[in-house]
Amino acid sequence: MQRYKKNLILTCHSYIPGSFCIFAVLFNKKNMKVITTTDELTQVLSEKRKGGFAVGLVPTMGALHEGHLTLVRRSVAENDYTVVSVFVNPTQFNNKADLDKYPRDLDRDVTMLGNAGCNLVFAPKVSIVTGK
């Protein structure tokens, strides 16, 4: 195993002797942060950019599925630091009943994102984003 970027461990698994290596990324979820304010987000991103990190963003409304996770894994592969936003925007719903029914399970989403290699989850409250 080789340590990489402090929180990732790379392992090589070969299915057929002599074939190419397939890399599996194992992520330590304890290193993943979940933040809820723009001040925290600004601070973290400022530190990463000053450190020369390439930062990837995957915006979501939560209720994650494999399509989201594919985007997260791609961001992890192409960037030094991956941020996923989880925000259900009420202005995207014409019908309040649809907004109320929209599935929300941040704990589940955070677990899935940690397993996919995400570094930071930005999960603001509506008032933080809209000012209302």
Active site (annotated) includes residue 13: no
Place of tokens 């190419």: 20
Q: Which amino acid is at 80?
A: D
Task: Catalytic residue, from 60, 62, 68, 123: name it.
Answer: 68
- Closest C-alpha among 93, 82, 79 to residue 115: 82
3-class SS of residue 54: coil
Is the Cβ–Cβ distance between 1 and 11 less than 8 Å? Answer: yes
CB atoms inside a 10 Å sphere around CB 69: 18
Residues noted as catalytic: 68
